[in-house]
């Protein structure tokens, strides 16, 4: 598939992910890994796109009074510094793609679980539990270039922490701050790399998709089918990366 189709693909990814409070980093990474081999460029590009998409979503959640910083802040205590440090870790290409592949497999499974689970009652978490969970996912987001919301949201839903819209609002801001921390970490480590011309096109695509997705989210459109297809795509690309880089098997 020609690179010229990437803006269209990324528009659709941003449309779906923003509708459920995510940035789309997992799918951006999955698609970019099919086109490019420079993993620093792949990670840098995905984090930049994350920031643009979830900034829109976060503002929409705040406008609709879904955002509750007093309830959210413990998740950021360790996630921000660990995302910053994780982004500075210099890995070999093989190790990076193995980590990314594993993360994409988990992301695909978690995304499927999000759509297969039933509505659950809410219950509060202890402060250490919130801090620890946020820190672990923040570190993973920094190393891989995934904002982390696609892991945080399904886990919180499965553990009955809050209603889906509150979780989506938290995931949106979680991705935003950790993606910013990750980009700062990449800059400090000297590994921030992007194709400026392509990045501009992709930013325009995800801003348009993110804006429409945030609108659909607040109109409560059902994008379940698209979500399941996205989960399958993310899982497939993750499995492909692990098999190719770990065992030399192409699928």
Q: What is the DSSP string of the chain?
A: --GGGHHHHHHHHHHHHHHTT---HHHHHHHHHHH---HHHHHHHHHHHHHHHHHHHHHHHHHTT---HHHHGGGGTTHHHHHHHHHT----HHHHHHHHHHHHHHHHHHHHHHHHSPP----PPPHHHHHHHHHHHHHHHHHHS--SHHHHHHHHHHTT-S-HHHHHHHHHHHHHHHHHHHHHHHHHHT-----HHHHHHHHHHHHHHHHHHHHHHHTT---HHHHHHHHHHHHHHHHHHHHHHHH----
pTM for the model stands at 0.86
Residues 132-184 have pLDDT tens digits of 999 999 998 899 888 888 788 878 877 778 887 888 889 889 999 999 999 99
pLDDT of residue 83: 96
- What pLDDT score was predicted for residue 217? 64
Domain ranges of the chain: 3-247
The confidence score (pLDDT) of residue 179 equals 94
- Taking 50 as the pLDDT cut, the residues of the chain under it are none
What per-residue confidence (pLDDT) applies to 228? Answer: 77
Q: What pLDDT digit, counting tens, does each position of 226-237 carry?
A: 667 778 877 888
Please tell me the predicted confidence (pLDDT) of residue 81. Answer: 97
């Amino acid at each position: 598939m020609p690179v010229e189709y990437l803006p269209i693909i990324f528009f659709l990814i941003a449309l779906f992910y923003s509708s459920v409070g995510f940035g789309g980093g997992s799918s951006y990474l999955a698609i970019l890994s099919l086109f490019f081999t420079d993993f620093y460029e792949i990670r840098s590009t995905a984090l930049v796109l994350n920031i643009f998409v979830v900034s829109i979503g976060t503002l929409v959640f705040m406008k609709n009074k879904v955002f509750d910083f007093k309830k959210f802040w413990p998740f950021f205590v360790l996630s921000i510094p660990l995302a910053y440090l994780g982004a500075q870790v210099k890995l070999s290409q093989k190790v990076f793609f193995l980590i990314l592949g594993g993360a994409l497999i988990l992301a695909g499974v978690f995304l499927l679980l999000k759509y297969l689970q039933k509505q659950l009652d809410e219950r509060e978490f202890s402060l250490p539990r919130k801090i620890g969970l946020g820190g672990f996912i923040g570190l993973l987001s920094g190393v891989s270039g995934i904002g982390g919301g696609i892991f945080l949201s399904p886990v919180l839903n499965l553990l009955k922490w809050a209603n889906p819209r509150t979780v989506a609002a938290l995931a949106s801001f979680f991705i935003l701050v950790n993606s910013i921390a990750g980009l700062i970490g990449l800059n400090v480590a000297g590994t921030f790399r992007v194709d400026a011309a392509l990045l501009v096109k992709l930013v325009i695509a995800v801003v348009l998709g993110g804006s429409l997705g945030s609108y659909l989210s607040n109109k409560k459109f059902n994008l379940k089918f698209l979500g399941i297809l996205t989960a399958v795509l993310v899982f497939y690309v993750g499995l492909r990366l692990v098999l190719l880089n770990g065992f030399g098997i192409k699928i």
